[in-house]
Amino acid sequence: MKQRIPPRALVLLAILTLVWGTNWPLFPLAVREVSVWTFRAVSVFVAGAALLIVARWRGQSLVIARRHWGTVAAATFCYLVVWNIASTYSALLIPSGQSAVLGFTMPLWSALIAWAVFGERLGARLLAAIALGGVAVALLMWKSFPVYAQAPLGLALGLLAGIGWAVGTLILQRGRVDVPATVLTGWQLLLTAAPTAAGALLFGDLQWFVPSWQSIVLIGYIALVPMGVGNLCWFAIVGLLPGPVAGLSSILVPVVAMIAGALIHDEPLGPVQWLAMACSAAALALALAKPTRPPAAEVA
């Protein structure tokens, strides 16, 4: 079947790249006064509640059929719970741009898991795109090995975040949960709020206090824009594009994260990073390019 990229997916991709990419350098600032668990518990609850309120206002049913709840719960745990906690701790242990690069190895894990577990075959064009994405990741990691050696847990958590995201996305795509993206995203975020709130009670801030207004504004922004709008865009993209292409569509996010990290935290940004960004852009262009003939070897 000939693959066609809907124009709506390109608009969503542009929004996703901007709001997620600029979000990474904000993590260390958001947890200056509150714990990672408290930050995540508050942000996912606010984002989920806001999305469900918007869905209801638009006249959408908030009901998800009982048969879908197992799929939704499994996908939520692998993606949102594992991703939110692992990625935030990783960004505290190593530079935020490098943490973003590790987390956004997701397309590589997604393709590998789809091939090894589900027997999917990828055409030459997507294989080339995945290879370019791998080169970009390797370039960005190359000069960071001393950092990883000093903080191996940051490296492990960054990779765990990417693997969790890949597994959760594959579960959701194969489960075919037929509900509006706003409703699905809202419920997934609220489901994530339960274990993160429990973690906040056990491992988070043990005494009640009111953070500064700067922290409140920053956490509110992260909850409503990167967490709410960003995840809404992502789940809509997952529903619009084939699995491998949807995964590769996120590959420009660490590019924006690297630039934002350089501007906000003075993180490294030199020729190697720019070459990696060029590889990322080329990988995305290949993934989204319209094939000249039906790709018999590709599985949508």
Backbone angles phi, psi at 58, to 5 degrees: -80, 0
Say whether pTM exceeds 0.85: no
Summarised one tens digit per residue, pLDDT across range 26-81 is 878 888 888 888 888 899 999 999 999 999 998 999 999 888 999 999 999 988 88
Summarised one tens digit per residue, pLDDT across range 1-12 is 445 677 788 888
pLDDT at residue 190 above 90? yes
**How far apart (Å, rounded) are the C-alpha atoms in residues 88 and 19?**
16
Cβ atoms 129, 288 nearer than 8 A: no
**How far apart (Å, rounded) are the C-alpha atoms in residues 65 and 183?**
12
Return the pLDDT at 137.
74
